[in-house]
Amino acid sequence: MSLLLAFDDEAALAQRLAQAIGRQHAFVDRHHFPDGETRLRLPASLPAHVVLLRGLQQPNDKLTELMLAAAGARELGARRLTLVSPYLAYMRQDTAFTPGEVVSQRHVGRALAAWFDDVVTVDPHLHRVATMDEVVPGRRAVALTAAPLLGAWVAQRLPDALLLGPDQESLQWVRAAAAAHGLDHAVCSKKRRADRAVEVELPNGVDLRGRAVVLLDDVASTGSTLVEAARGALARGAATVDVAVTHALLVGDALEQLRAAGVREVWSTDSVPHPSNVVSIAPLVAQALSSIAPGT
């Protein structure tokens, strides 16, 4: 028997996932002290297998909580710990671009390997690393993709939509979403000048006139790339532009910027809690858990 353990700020996904795997769930109780430290309280007795749900958006405080929760769970009876982290932070920094840079992916991955026996995530932002097994050495690590789920959502509402990736890195998700549902797809090219300054060039030879365009990507953070792609698509004659992403971080005024650029709707999965959530990853994660730990 296993237990799903979660934090209260991810209660909605925890309830959906617990129902999908047919297991009870409980929450980690947190108390924040005035000096910034946090006290965690877990159930007093834990089963042999614990699935810990924790997305790592705004990761710095959460990584400390994750370390403490994992250590506490071991002390309270858990012999196997499976982390479900729908959004996994620090994945883009997979090499040192300038001398002295810390390769955060490497060290976060090693920390997760020390704390957990299995790691499940969704659409991690990997570049030069091919698999999650390389990120979390010596452990079972599974990367799922929500792209077909987003493709199904789009196909139901806009069966003639063109899925447009805002940059070359998005090709893997756009292609998977399009192939699953027979949608047209293409990708843009991008040059990043700074965190919020990008140039997006739309693909040549793709006629957008009168088309319903859906920009699809793994993550929307500042929204800058999507804003430029939306402006370009509308300038090329697109009838409408919507956005579909797995992880809706949408920091600051990103959502307002997308609206101002002409984006009609923003759709996301519930990997990160956000008002734009329309598709649940719970069945996807439940299927992965059943193969990792039969009986979960």
Residues forming the active site: 190
Residues 6+ apart with CB under 8 A from 104: 90, 93
- Give, in order, the Cα–Cα distances in Å from 79 to each of 75, 202, 266, 289: 9, 51, 41, 16
CA 114 to chain CA mean position, Å: 22
Query: What distance in Å separates the CA atoms of residue 167 and residue 245, rounded to the nearest whole number?
Result: 13
Ramachandran class of 115: left when φ > 0, alpha when ψ lies in -120 to 50, beta otherwise: alpha
Could you tell me how far CA 24 lies from the centroid of its own chain?
A: 24
- 159 within 8 A of 148, measured Cβ to Cβ: no
Cα(40)–Cα(37) distance, integer angstroms: 10
What tokens were used for 31?
């108390």
Residue 112, burial from CB neighbour count under 10 angstroms (0-12, 13-18, 19+): buried
